[in-house]
């Protein structure tokens, strides 16, 4: 089995992104499954294109995209991605779209095809906080999740996919090592599920 795990580069003037740091700490193999890593740009359109290339290059059995969510105190598997770009801040290229579809004419939303409740349970079993989230927001994280699920539905129906938001380490009391442990637990739940 092969799992593609993605994270994002820093954005919003920050020097680091905890998703990228946690991704770097993941082992190359979990429960016999190969873990392939990619870092995506925080740029509308470009992030989705980079994700498409990564799926084509790696041919994974499942994809877990990681992102950073300020203001959250738990690891949050996302249930839903919506067909909407509506940025509160500019992306790393300075774009700040408002009320635009990600895929014109595409479905209004997609549900994750990963076992999100099992992922929460696995993270909690590691002694870490986890909550199921019903919104990936409307920034590049949501765009990546929507793009992934749209791609999988259209071109790779046997591949499962979803998104996991990580809290910023300094605000949550969790270290990047804790976050990586939580991501690994989520990946184990995906492998079992």
User: What pTM, to 2 d.p., does this model score?
Assistant: 0.96
Task: Give the pLDDT confidence score for residue 169 in this predicted structure.
Answer: 66
Render the chain in DSSP notation, one character per residue.
-EEEEEEE---TT-S--HHHHHHHHS-SEETTEEEEEEEE-SSTTHHHHHHHHHHHHH--SEEEEEEEETT--SBEEB-EEES-B--SS--TTS----SB-SSTT--SEEE--S-HHHHHHHHHHTT--B--BS---SSHHHHHHHHHHHHHHHH-TT-EEEEEEEE-HHHHT--HHHHHHHHHHHHHHHHH-
Structural domain count, the chain: 1
- Tens-of-pLDDT digits for all 193 residues of the chain? 999 999 999 998 888 999 999 999 999 999 999 999 999 999 999 999 999 999 999 999 999 999 999 889 999 999 999 999 999 999 999 999 999 999 999 999 999 999 999 999 999 999 999 999 999 999 999 999 999 999 999 999 999 999 999 998 667 789 999 999 999 999 999 999 8
pLDDT of residue 165: 98
Which residues touch 142 (CB under 8 Å, ≥6 apart)? 81, 82, 84, 102, 135, 136
Q: What is the per-residue pLDDT for 1? A: 96
Indicate which residues carry an active-site annotation.
78, 141, 165
CATH code assigned at 106: 3.40.630.20
* Domain with 110 in it: 2-192
């Amino acid at each position: 089995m092969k799992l593609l795990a993605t994270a994002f580069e820093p954005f919003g003037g920050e020097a680091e992104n905890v998703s990228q740091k946690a991704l770097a700490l993941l082992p190359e193999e979990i429960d016999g499954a190969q873990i392939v890593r990619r870092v995506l740009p925080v740029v509308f359109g470009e992030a989705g294109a980079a994700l498409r290339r990564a799926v084509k290059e790696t041919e994974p059995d499942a994809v877990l995209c990681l992102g950073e969510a300020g203001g959250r105190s738990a690891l949050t598997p996302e249930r839903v991605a919506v067909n909407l770009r509506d940025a509160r801040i500019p992306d790393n290229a300075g774009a700040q779209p408002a009320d635009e579809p990600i895929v014109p004419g595409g479905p209004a939303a997609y549900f994750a095809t990963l076992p999100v409740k099992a992922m929460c349970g696995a993270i909690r079993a590691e002694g870490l906080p986890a909550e199921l989230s019903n919104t990936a927001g409307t920034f590049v994280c949501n765009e990546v999740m929507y793009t992934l699920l749209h791609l999988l539905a259209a071109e790779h129906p046997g591949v499962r996919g979803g998104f996991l938001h990580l809290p910023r380490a300094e605000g949550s009391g969790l270290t990047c090592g804790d976050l990586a442990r939580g991501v690994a637990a989520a990946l184990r739940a995906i492998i079992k599920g």
